[in-house]
């Protein structure tokens, strides 16, 4: 089940509760909404651009709830005057906030720090298109694109892909080990205690990653799937919206 589906189901379940209408002098409507939705706090809700509608974000999944808790809107909100997808703007902001909590010391990075562009890629060592992307890493770098990797073993914890990711992290030369692993070579390494694989994986789920590679641009946009170096460079050169 997708994260958005889970969020909507939770909201629907909450909507089955008796409605308490907020009146003047009564508590903030957000408190009434939060009281009905398990795991949600009043501060998780914020006013949307539409009067009487509140926004609720769970990771990068966004839904909208009426101030009386009766109605749920699952979908993107557009401002036609500005030709803007306001929900996508919010999703990008959330992603950047989450990504900002990951220090680069907890990533695998290919390319110079002063590169013109930086992308962050959720990768799975056993994913065919992830391997294709990595096989062209030199071309991405040549085009001014610095690549920061986060692990996202699609098969989940306790699987071969997960163990490979941890093995790469525990290797003396992580970048070299990742390259070898993506070529299908065995990477032998001893356990090194804690690794960031679980944190990367949890972050990917919050981002709404459905498959790999998943490319996060500097403005928080999420591109699902492999994008060839030249095409990605062209996209990065285009004015951002």
- Set 90, 91, 131, 154: catalytic member: 154
Token duo for residue 235:
């996209």
Q: How many CB atoms lie within 10 A of CB 105?
A: 7
- Choosing from 130, 131, 146, 148, the catalytic residue is 130
Which distant-in-sequence residues (6+ apart) come within 8 Å of 74 by Cβ? Answer: 4, 7, 8, 11, 63, 64
Catalytic residue among 90, 92, 95, 127: 127
Q: Which residue out of 58, 95, 124, 146 is catalytically annotated?
A: 124
Is 172 strand, coil or helix? Answer: coil
Indicate if 170 belongs to the active site. no
Is residue 192 within 8 A of residue 178, CB to CB? The reply is no
How many Cα atoms within 13 Å fall on the side-chain side of residue 36?
A: 25
Q: How far does Cα 180 stand from its chain's mean position?
A: 26
Tell me how far apart the alpha carbons of residues 218 and 121 are, in angstroms, rounded to a whole number. 11
Give every CB contact of residue 94 below 8 A, 6+ residues apart in sequence. 57, 59, 60, 62, 220
Is 109 in a helix, a strand, or coil?
strand
Which residue, chain included where needed, has tokens 């994260």? 3
Is 83 annotated in the active site?
no
> Is 130 tagged catalytic?
yes
Please choose, from the candidates 175, 173, 96, 163, the residue with its C-alpha nearest in 3D space to the C-alpha of residue 124. 163
Annotated active-site positions, please? 124, 127, 130, 154
């Amino acid at each position: 089940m997708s994260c958005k589906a889970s969020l909507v189901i939770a909201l629907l379940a909450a909507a089955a509760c008796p409605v308490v209408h907020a009146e003047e002098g009564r508590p903030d409507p957000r408190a009434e909404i939060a009281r009905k939705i398990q795991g949600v706090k009043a501060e998780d809700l914020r006013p949307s651009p539409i009067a009487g509608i509140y926004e609720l974000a769970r990771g990068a999944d966004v839904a909208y709830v009426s101030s009386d808790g009766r109605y749920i809107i699952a979908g993107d909100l557009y401002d036609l005057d500005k030709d803007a997808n306001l929900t996508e703007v919010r999703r990008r902001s959330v992603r950047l906030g989450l990504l900002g909590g990951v220090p680069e010391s907890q990533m695998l990075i290919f390319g110079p720090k002063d590169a013109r562009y930086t992308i962050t890629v959720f990768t799975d060592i056993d994913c065919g298109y992830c391997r294709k992307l990595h096989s062209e890493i030199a071309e991405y770098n040549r085009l001014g694109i610095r690549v920061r990797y986060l692990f996202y073993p699609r098969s989940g914890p306790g699987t071969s892909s997960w163990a490979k990711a941890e093995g790469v992290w525990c290797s003396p030369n992580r970048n070299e080990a990742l390259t070898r692993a993506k070529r299908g070579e065995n990477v032998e390494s001893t356990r090194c205690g804690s690794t960031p694989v679980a944190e990367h994986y949890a972050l990917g789920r919050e981002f709404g990653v459905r498959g790999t590679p998943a490319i996060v641009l500097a403005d928080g946009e999420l591109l699902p799937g492999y994008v060839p170096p030249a095409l990605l460079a062209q996209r990065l050169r285009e004015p951002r919206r």
